[in-house]
Chain A
Amino acid sequence: DGGITQSPKYLFRKEGQNVTLSCEQNLNHDAMYWYRQDPGQGLRLIYYSQIVNDFQKGDIAEGYSVSREKKESFPLTVTSAQKNPTAFYLCASSTVWQGAYNEQFFGPGTRLTVL
């Protein structure tokens, strides 16, 4: 089955530690995205990548880093510089056909809790 997997589902970290969230897709999509979801705030874009070895900051990139070494993978690192890292993190992917609608497909999410 094609889809997006995120691991782990629940993640706990101590304050001051970096942590990496995994996102893998087998949909052969060129674009991948990371969103953060907080209660009552909807989803906000952290980073996105339209092609391997290239990525751009979204609206709330501070305290986060990403890499895109493979088409299938787009890991997100939450660094100790992120002041409020506790949140639900969603990964998505899409095609990038120019001038056309490119539906974003979402993974099941990772809930990060900072203790």
Chain B
Amino acid sequence: AQSVTQLDSQVPVFEEAPVELRCNYSSSVSVYLFWYVQYPNQGLQLLLKYLSGSTLVESINGFEAEFNKSQTSFHLRKPSVHISDTAEYFCAVSDLPNTGFQKLVFGTGTRLLVSP
């Protein structure tokens, strides 16, 4: 069975500082990896995903994540955060699909708090 661990429940950081949100996963098969962002009282939005190919994936708003197979990690980073990045971030994993259904397994989330 797959599982996702996000060790940090909350990460406080000052504006314009760098940040790393950690994600480790457990799976016996090849996986897809995702980061979702959730703003208060809203649904989830896909931030970035690793499906195959380059292990470094980037989002349009400056976040990046690197798939590290040996360490089973997919940490999320941003070199300089903004106040507007304050949100909850979820790491998720799914098996490579044999059928159309892909079960997403989510971590418990990390709340990023950016202060001025």
B44 & A90 in contact (Cβ 8 Å cutoff): yes
State the CA gap A88–B27 with chains docked (Å).
28
- A28–B43 Cα distance when bound, in Å, is 19
Give the residues in chain A near B97, CB-CB below 8 Å: 98-102
Measured between beta carbons, the chain B residues less than 8 angstroms from A101 are 32, 49, 51, 97, 102
- Chain A: how many interface residues by the 8 Å CB criterion? 31
Which of B41, B100, B107 is close to A95, meaning CB atoms less than 8 Å apart? B100
- Report the interface size class on chain B: 20 to 34
- Whole-angstrom CA separation of A111 from B40 in the bound complex: 12
Decide if B46 touches A40 in the complex (CB within 8 Å): no
Residues of A within 8 A of B101 (CB): 31, 48, 50, 96
Q: In the complex, which residues of chain A have a beta carbon less than 8 angstroms from the beta carbon of B99?
A: 96, 98
B100:A98 contact, CB within 8 angstroms = yes
B25 within 8 A of A: no
The contact string, 1 if C-beta is below 8 Å from chain A, for chain B 31-60, is 010001000011111100101000000000
Which of A40, A97, A98 is close to B109, meaning CB atoms less than 8 Å apart? A40
Give me 27 A-to-B residue pairs in the complex whose CB atoms sit less than 8 angstroms apart, sorted by A's number: A9-B41, A31-B101, A41-B108, A42-B90, A42-B107, A42-B108, A42-B109, A43-B44, A44-B106, A90-B44, A94-B102, A95-B100, A96-B99, A96-B101, A97-B100, A98-B97, A100-B97, A101-B32, A101-B51, A102-B100, A102-B102, A103-B49, A106-B36, A107-B43, A108-B42, A109-B42, A111-B41
A-B complex: 7 closest residue pairs judged by Cβ atoms: A96-B100, A106-B43, A42-B106, A106-B44, A43-B106, A42-B108, A108-B43
Chain A residues packing against B (C-beta within 8 Å): 4, 6, 9, 30-31, 40-45, 48, 50, 90, 92, 94-104, 106-109, 111
Beyond the given pairs A96-B99, A96-B101, A104-B104, 11 more chain A to chain B contacts, judged by CB atoms under 8 angstroms and listed by A's residue number, are A31-B101, A43-B104, A45-B103, A50-B101, A95-B100, A98-B98, A98-B100, A101-B32, A102-B97, A107-B43, A109-B41
